[in-house]
Amino acid sequence: MIGFLVRRVAGILLTLVVISAITFAVFYLLPSDPAAQFCGKDCSADRILLVRQQMGLDDPVTVQFGRYLVGIFAGQTLGSGDYAVHCSFPCFGYSYQSAQPVWDLMMDRLPASASLAVGAAFLWLVMGLAAGVVSALRRGTWIDRTLMVGTIGIAAMPVYFTAMVLLYLVVGQLGLIPYPRYIAFGEHPFQWIQNLILPWITLALMSAAMYARMTRNSVIETMAEPYVRTARAKGLPERRVVAKHGLRPALTPVATMLGMDLGGLLAGALITESLFGLPGVGKLFADSLNKADQPVIMGVTLLASFFIVTSNLIVDLVYAWIDPRARLS
């Protein structure tokens, strides 16, 4: 088990290094000059040269990349002499745009993204599982058909459409709640919910539809398994057959998918955050893309990769906990 964990963590680190190398290479190959970017619009050629030197852009790309990696784990000192700035662990560099440390920018934005992701995931799990299980157990009835037609309709609605309709109806026409703005949970839990409810629903609807369909298929498949028949042959009451012998294996793939989806979402739901003006990591990413703010783009890419590979590991561990066949003996 320990050996397994060590191998997996090493694998994760390697993956992250490869991803950062690729992102780094992409930016190195871009024609834009980071020094000119950082320096600003009215910058003399001499000044740009100085900035280049300070940023270490004259060094070979491998040296620059090495410095970047070391910075992440140990921090680094940028520039030299009077201009020297120490960027402490974990150092992802500074934004060209705001001159703020990338790490601080991301950590500032993480709570909003995490709030959005966790709340939405909760909503879509409840809706998706309920609809999927009911559909599967009432297969072929009008409930099943209604739910499945409904999920197709919902899955076909793009996020920006749902968001606009919700905003128009709930905020505009009905005036039930004011236009959402992000309020931290710690500041005011109730307003946190009130302001996030529309983004949650927006983000959750489509996933709920997907999860409902997936859950339905999985439950139908599992209920046809020989071991479910054995449970019935033992004389167990049908409720126990479904709850203990059917649902547990049926929901295993759902748990896997949830882990992946949640991992991806923690690093920001780009469209939803932008639509509702939520100060999340996704919004940060979108803004940085517009401004070609290389260090921020790289930082967010790595953060997202980190969340995804880590949630992958967690999913595997949870899987082993649920399914003894996946356990390493």
Partner 1 sequence: MTLLEVKDLAVQFDTAEGVVRAVRGVDFTVEAGRTLGIVGESGSGKSVTSLAVMGLHRGAEVTGSVRFQGTELIGAPEETVRQLRGRRMAMVFQDALTSLHPYFTIGDQIAEAHQTHFGTGRKAALARAVEVLGDVGIPEPARRAGEYPHQFSGGMRQRAMIALALSCEPDLIIADEPTTALDVTVQAQVLELLMKIQQDRGLGIIMITHDLGVIARVADEVLVMYGGSAAEQAPAETLFSTPRHPYTRGLLDSLPRLDAADGDPLLAIPGSPPSLLAPPAGCAFHPRCGLYAAAPEAVRAACTGERPPLRLVAEDHRTACLLDSPSEGRITHQEVTA
Provide long-range contacts, Cβ within 8 A and 24+ apart, for 95-101.
Answer: 95/288, 95/293, 95/295, 95/296, 96/34, 96/37, 96/38, 96/291, 96/292, 96/293, 96/294, 96/295, 96/296, 97/288, 97/291, 97/293, 97/296
- What is the distance between the alpha carbons of residues 160 and 180, in angstroms, rounded to a whole number? 15
Asked if 247 interacts with partner 1 (CB under 8 A), we say no
Asked if 145 interacts with partner 1 (CB under 8 A), we say no
β-strand 85-87 against 76-78: which pairing, if any?
Answer: antiparallel
Asked if 178 interacts with partner 1 (CB under 8 A), we say no
Residue 241 vs 262, nearer CB to partner 1? 241
Residue 239, token pair as written in the block: 């409720």
Identify the residue among 62, 88, 146, 230 touching partner 1 (CB under 8 A).
Answer: 230
Residue 112, token pair as written in the block: 């909003």
Number of residues in contact with partner 1, rule: CB under 8 A? Answer: 21
- What is the distance between the alpha carbons of residues 216 and 283, in angstroms, rounded to a whole number? 34
Task: Identify the burial level of 170 via C-beta atoms within 10 angstroms of its C-beta, where 0-12 means exposed, 13-18 middle and 19 or more buried.
Answer: middle
Residue 181 vs 240, nearer CB to partner 1? 240
Asked if 239 interacts with partner 1 (CB under 8 A), we say no
Asked if 225 interacts with partner 1 (CB under 8 A), we say yes
Asked if 227 interacts with partner 1 (CB under 8 A), we say yes
Least Å from the CB of residue 245 to partner 1: 6
Asked if 318 interacts with partner 1 (CB under 8 A), we say no
Asked if 328 interacts with partner 1 (CB under 8 A), we say no
The region of 22-30, 149-157, 231-239, 307-315 touching partner 1 under the rule CB under 8 A is 231-239
* Residues in contact with partner 1, shown as a per-residue x/- string from 50 to 89 under the rule CB under 8 A: ----------------------------------------
The region of 30-38, 78-86, 170-178, 318-326 touching partner 1 under the rule CB under 8 A is 318-326
Which residue from 76, 63, 67, 36 is spatially nearest to 52, judged by alpha carbons?
36
- Residues with Cβ within 8 Å of 18's Cβ and at least 6 positions away in sequence, in order, are none
Residue 188 vs 232, nearer CB to partner 1? 232
Rg (CA), the chain: 25
Whether the bond into 178 is cis, omega within 30 of 0? no
Asked if 234 interacts with partner 1 (CB under 8 A), we say yes
Residue 31 vs 324, nearer CB to partner 1? 324
* CB 65 within 8 Å of CB 73: no
**How far does the chain reach from its first CA to its final CA, in angstroms?**
8
Residue 109 vs 245, nearer CB to partner 1? 245
Least Å from the CB of residue 158 to partner 1: 35
Q: What are the residues binding partner 1 (CB under 8 A)?
A: 225-227, 229-238, 240, 245, 248-249, 322-325
